[in-house]
Amino acid sequence: MSPPVLSVRNLRVEFPTRRGTLVAVDDVSFDIGPGEVLGVVGESGAGKSMTGTAVIGLLEPPGRIASGEVWLQGERIDRLPPEKMRRVRGRRIGMVFQDPLTSLNPLYQIGEQLIETIRTHTDASPAVARKRAIGLLEAAGIQGAARRIDSYPHEFSGGMRQRVVIALALAAEPDLIIADEPTTALDVSIQAQIIDLLKTLCRDRGAAIMLITHDMGVIAETADRVAVMYAGRIAEIGPVRDVVQRPQHPYTKGLMGSIPTLEMGGTRLTQIPGSMPRLTAIPTGCAFNPRCNAAFDRCRVERPDPMQTGTGAVACWLAARAADEADPANQMHPTRMAP
């Protein structure tokens, strides 16, 4: 197997406040390999975007990485000085945000922004950079790229602007792309095109993608593996086919049951009661236990660590109990999750 592009180990993100320290991301670990799409899914407040923000080094003070490690192509980057991290962020990590207008300066032409990015991180001449920028726009599906390169952001539709942002993220040929809700504001047909574009471009270049979304349908169609987050922790992680077809964590089962299918007929969708807990009120034990109709005493007092289950891992005492009942001689115990 190829070494991972991104390795996150036991990441913990804290926000010190006058009331105490709030933990937004708690002991999160995963790997992403070359050309692989890791989907990170969960409700609002699960810690998805905060994990991506910590990886790329854009945490807003007083937020901080309290512990853990972030490795990019074998180099630890979570402790780099700001100036070195800025170079890593532009050259080796690309970012695609939900709203493309947050990534594009409305006062400058698309071409100016692409060329500046290319020249900042390479030794290309202005003519070479412009030619490369046109090629990126063409690869991103912008028709008439040689002409549209001199347009301003407001002259593009939402879907076209997102294509420009993807071209901008790929301008320096990064090792990793972090895509944070890249399709949320787009029509369904445009969503599919953007996701397909991201996968094609990054796999052609061997880059890894961390795709952050609340839409399990997008993950099912896009990702190679999926990490389901809840209350700042990974509840379940594994190959997307296994997690979608055979979810083990009750929260994952609820997410899967909320996706409508053509075969459902009149069957009601699953509804998860309650809401994501606030950072100031994370329950004791498993954070999901107040919303889980299968919770038992151990769930309410003891927090489960991720446990290996075949090709993936799940942080749930129900999975441990099921494994013990299936094979009492080989009891399943919590272990540090192997990504």
Report if residue 231 sits inside a domain: no
β-pairing, 37-41 vs 225-230, is parallel
Distance CA 321, CA 165 (A): 47
Residue 147, in any domain of the structure: yes
The predicted-structure confidence for 223-277, as pLDDT tens digits, reads as follows 999 999 999 999 999 999 999 999 999 999 998 887 776 666 667 777 889 999 9
Q: Is residue 297 helix, strand or coil?
A: helix
Q: Within the chain, where are the H helices? A: 48-56, 82-91, 110-121, 126-139, 145-148, 158-169, 188-205, 216-222, 240-245, 250-257, 297-301, 317-326
**Given pLDDT bands bounded at 50, 70 and 90, which one contains residue 334?**
very low
pLDDT in tens, 125-181: 999 999 999 999 998 889 999 999 999 999 998 889 988 998 998 888 899 999 998
Give the residue, 263 or 69, on which the prediction is more confident: 69
Q: Determine the structural domain holding residue 105 and report its residue range.
A: 99-171
Query: What span, in angstroms and rounded, lies between the C-alpha atoms of 216 and 266?
Result: 21
Q: Is the pLDDT of residue 331 over 60?
A: no
Measured CA to CA, the distance from residue 339 to residue 29 in angstroms comes to: 7
Here the tokens at position 81 are 């000085």
Short-list 249, 234, 199, CA closest to 219: 199
**Buried-exposed string 236-251: b where 16+ CB fall within 10 A, e elsewhere:** bbbebebbbeebbbbb
Report if residue 145 sits inside a domain.
yes
Q: Does residue 185 fall inside a structural domain?
A: no
Q: Please spell the DSSP secondary structure of 222-243, one letter per residue.
A: H-SEEEEEETTEEEEEEEHHHH
Residue 206 maps to a domain: no
Position 189 scores a pLDDT of: 76
Whether 336 shows a pLDDT value over 50: the answer reads no
**Pairing verdict, β 225-230 and 233-239:** antiparallel
| Number of neighbouring beta carbons within 10 Å of residue 190 | 17
> Is 283 within a domain?
no
Per-residue model confidence as pLDDT tens digits over 263-285: 666 677 778 899 999 999 999 99
State both tokens at 219: 């993950």
DSSP assignments along 36-98, one per residue: -EEEEE-STTSSHHHHHHHHHT-PPTT-EEEEEEEEETTEE-TT--HHHHHHHHHHTEEEE-S
Q: Around 289, how many Cα atoms within 13 Å sit in the side-chain half-sphere?
A: 21
On whether the CB atoms of residues 239 and 317 are closer than 8 A, the answer is no
Q: Is residue 242 part of a domain?
A: no
Structural domains counted in the chain: 1
In a domain, 253, yes or no: no
Give the whole-angstrom CA distance, residue 173 versus residue 194: 18
Question: How crowded is the C-beta side of 214, counted as CA atoms within 13 Å?
Answer: 10
Rounded to whole angstroms, how far apart are CA atoms 78 and 54? Answer: 8
